[in-house]
Amino acid sequence: MKIALFGYGKMGKTIEQIALQKGHTIVLKTSGKSSLEKIIEADVAIDFSTPKAAASNIKFCLEHQIPIVCGTTGWLDNYDEIINFCKNCNGAFIYASNFSIGVNLFFKMNEYIAELMKPWKGYQVSLEEIHHTKKLDTPSGTAITLAEGIIKNSDKISWNQKELKKNNIDITSKRLKDVKGTHTVNYHSEIDTISIKHEAHSRKGFALGALLAAEWLIGKKGVFTMKDVLQLKS
């Protein structure tokens, strides 16, 4: 598989290392604008760039019929536009706030527990996410996905970071040195607290999941998620 990498920071380098170990080829690695000559050599593109660059990178690939996997967060104001663009181009696109297989299993656990906890009004749910100091967006895309999963399966209507309201999910964000990513969902009552937690030990899990998604996407058309890749029922 020939891969184009948009974003060649720590995450991009981890993807490159694992891709080469798996026998794939990196035909492009860039943190800036790329040339058409290079991108058309790729079978698939993987984007871990920046919130400002992601949407244009995705469009560029879709225009040139390059399937693209995007793990960049913080650009979702343009999500609906990108989905329509992909459909109009008859392209192939996967976005995930987190490509880690463990995190995607955690998403399913979170939805199940939210539904289980729904009748028990004495518990107030909240989220905490901790990342490295260079992460640009807050809250994390993973935390937002967790909140959306709770909202879908409970009587909560929104999430926020500023003030705690009964029907909202409070998200606390922390930025600490050399933290790969930790997400905790807490259900707190006067009597006790129930918590579920996912802690990433390295970037390897994110990279493996992104490569798995890229391998799966080749030859397909449409807009997909990691639920499709992992065959997790909605």
Residue 30 token pair: 């860039």
For the beta sheet containing 193-199, the strands, ordered from the edge strand earlier in sequence to the opposite edge, are 158-160, 168-175, 124-131, 182-188, 193-199
Is 33 one of the catalytic residues? no
CB 74 within 8 A of CB 141: yes
How far apart are the C-alpha atoms of 140 and 129, rounded to whole Å?
7
Of 13, 135, 188, 221, which one is the catalytic site residue?
135
Is 131 one of the catalytic residues? yes
Instruction: Report in angstroms the alpha-carbon separations of 97 from 69, 83, 93, 182, 212.
Output: 11, 15, 14, 14, 15
Of 131, 156, 183, 198, which one is the catalytic site residue?
131
How far apart are the C-alpha atoms of 95 and 19, rounded to whole Å?
19
Whether the upstream peptide bond of residue 139 has omega within 30° of 0, thus cis, is: yes
Handedness of CA 192, 105, 61, 7 (dihedral sign): positive
Residues annotated as catalytic are 131, 135
